[in-house]
Amino acid sequence: MDIVPRLSRILRRHLLRLGRESGNPATALRFHATARLGLGKTSSEAAEELDLARSTVVRTAHRFAEEGSAGLYDKRRRNGKPKAGDAFRRHLARLLLRTPEHFGWPRPTWNEKFYLAGALDVRTGALHTTGAARKGVALFCAHAGVAGEELRT
């Protein structure tokens, strides 16, 4: 028996739209996986198509079966106010606009800046706190010669 029953085209499209509107790539993938399962795909097929672990697809299917579309959202989204203040985000945005040459490095690019591309939305100042983003911030600050205490103001 399928965990996720067959879903109409309208419902599958609705799931995909909700995923896109979530603004979170991991959440969008959970919605997409559920839509693929609702199309009649197996968890293995959906996992392969979306480049996910099969266990992730199965866990997502169980969450959908138990909680509906609300179960597909990140459980941490109501985890309180952001830990990084406005001063931190402004300071980090200023650092991101610089190149390594500003800090005495001979090369015009660095890989840590690419980590931060996913860590900070420069338009809104929203700082994402995933493990990779935190690692990127730490590496960037270490290369920029900025102590963590300076960013906590």
Give dist(CA 19, CA 101) in Å, integer.
39
38-56 average pLDDT score = 93
pLDDT score of 110: 52
Long-range contacts of 55-59 (CB under 8 A, 24+ apart): 57/33, 58/3
Q: pTM for the full model?
A: 0.54
pLDDT score of 92: 73
For 9-36, the pLDDT digits (tens) are 999 999 999 999 988 888 999 999 999 9
- pLDDT higher than threshold 90 for residue 54: yes
Higher pLDDT, 48 or 98: 48
- pLDDT higher than threshold 60 for residue 122: no
> In the chain, what are the domain boundaries?
9-72, 86-151
pLDDT score of 141: 64
Q: Which residue has the tokens 């979306």?
A: 50
